[in-house]
Chains A and B, each alone.
Chain A
Amino acid sequence: EKINKFREAMGIMQHHDAVTGTEKQHVANDYSRILSNSMRDGNKLSADALRNMMKKDENTEKKVEFHSCLQLNISSCEHTENNKNFVVTLYNPGSQPLSTYVRLPVKGASYRVKDYLGMELVTQLVPIPATVSKIPGRQSSAVFDLVFLALSIPALGYQSFYISEKTQESEIQSDEPVND
């Protein structure tokens, strides 16, 4: 039912007015509504599919949440901004393995990104331009984009990364000499 609604929305969006923007404003608003609802349902569906692929944790009944950030195009995402620890899962819709740079809006000053093998990845924080911060209607506390390289996401598959904000305390700990 959910995928059918999405499919119908994509059908409607192929009308020449939707492609070129020659519809009346109230029709444009309706298109946005249809597409937004379908994206939300599509997200639920993808989250269920990802949950099925994941290893079941028998100790907890709690479902893993998967949130999409539909405003990443304006460097805004409440889930990356308001959580100190979060997992990013990238689903590759292509039929070839994919390597890509990932950009996530954050408000912390330092982050650690680890892949599923425990490898710590090189990261970079880049300031979000003031012109982006001033976009009318943008409600975001992010000041940086966290950048890292996601290597070899399998075709039609996913890869997850564990991201944690580095606190002063953890930085001090990480500088301690390692004992055998």
Chain B
Amino acid sequence: ESVSFMGGDTYDISVDTSGRVVLQSIEKEGIRMTQSFQFYKGAAGNNMVFSNRSSGAYIFRPNVTRAVDFNYNGNVQIFKGPLVEELHLTVNEWVSEVVRIYNGEDRIEFNWLVGPIDVNDKIGKEIITKYTTNLESNGQFYTDSNGREMLKRERNKRPTWNLHLQEPVAGNYYPVTTKIVVRDEKRKLRLAALTDRAQGGTSLEDGEIELMVHRRLLKDDAFGVEEALNETAYGIGLVSRGEHSIIFGSDSDEFRLHEKTEATRLALRPWVFISPVENISYDEWK
């Protein structure tokens, strides 16, 4: 059956005409989120002076202050079943994802697949995914400290000195080992993005979470690697696949515990072993 939305009893999830995933909570009134892929063009300089440094393995240095949208020329497919509902979205030839809602779970899984990053235009690119909500986070967000406690970050601010950022995007990026959170104090709501690996992340606008998922750059940044961050395999750029879990909830101790448990559960997944049993029936095996 051809359907244009999914999300079980909890969410209404669809894709708009520009290829953004649009989510609305059925249970929690007023919660809306869009998710999209964008990219930064990496600065390419000669590294002779500070202002002419390239974006590379050590430094994230976009030459623009806003991420660029992808031209959406892809397609969407939705699959529904008793255990999982999936939305397969192809944004372009090298950016796609699967959005999943498992029966009985409140997290929304974004399984992204990015690469090989197209650099035929000779421009290095750094790909991000952005979760945009209507939460009023007041310039604040939280990132974990190597999987341990959450540290409060404030946009364009540092705790102990007056800051004037010359690079407003990179200067607001922080390490995210497992979790990044925005909260709306007035509405007592919270949005957490759980990652499956360490990534860079920020919140450049209120209610927004941005995570960098893949990078391919054509110039060395002169910090000692002496190689551009341009890894290839099979003669082309690398493909990266990973997962973000998004959870919404009230800004309560109970939800924070749930967030923690989910992060642990996703980080310590079971080890899967396969044993072929071609000539053994179930009863014999049992």
Give the CA-CA distance A129 to B264 in the complex, in Å: 28
User: Chain B: which residue is nearest A85 at the CB level?
Assistant: B277
A contact face: mostly helix, strand, loop, or mixed: mixed
Give the CA-CA distance A69 to B270 in the complex, in Å: 13
Query: What chain A residues lie within 8 Å of B79 (beta carbons)?
Result: 126-127
- Is B265's CB under 8 angstroms from A100's CB? yes
Using A73-B241, A74-B241, A129-B96 as known contacts, say yes or no to A86 and B271 having CB atoms under 8 A apart: no
Give the CA-CA distance A136 to B235 in the complex, in Å: 9
Give the CA-CA distance A66 to B280 in the complex, in Å: 15
B84 sits at the interface (CB 8 A): yes
Give the CA-CA distance A167 to B87 in the complex, in Å: 29
User: Chain B: which residue is nearest A127 at the CB level?
Assistant: B79
Give the CA-CA distance A132 to B90 in the complex, in Å: 11
- For the complex with contacts A66-B275, A67-B275, 17 further pairs of A-B residues with Cβ separation under 8 Å are A20-B57, A24-B225, A67-B273, A67-B274, A68-B271, A69-B274, A79-B274, A83-B276, A88-B274, A90-B271, A92-B270, A100-B265, A118-B286, A124-B81, A136-B116, A149-B103, A162-B282
- Residues on A lying within 8 angstroms of B by beta carbon are 19-25, 28, 43, 46-47, 50, 64-69, 72-74, 77, 79-80, 83-94, 98, 100-102, 104, 114, 116, 118, 122-124, 126-127, 129-132, 135-137, 147-150, 153, 162, 164
User: Lowest 8 CB-CB distances: which A-B pairs, in order?
Assistant: A124-B81, A90-B270, A79-B274, A66-B273, A131-B96, A136-B234, A89-B273, A87-B275
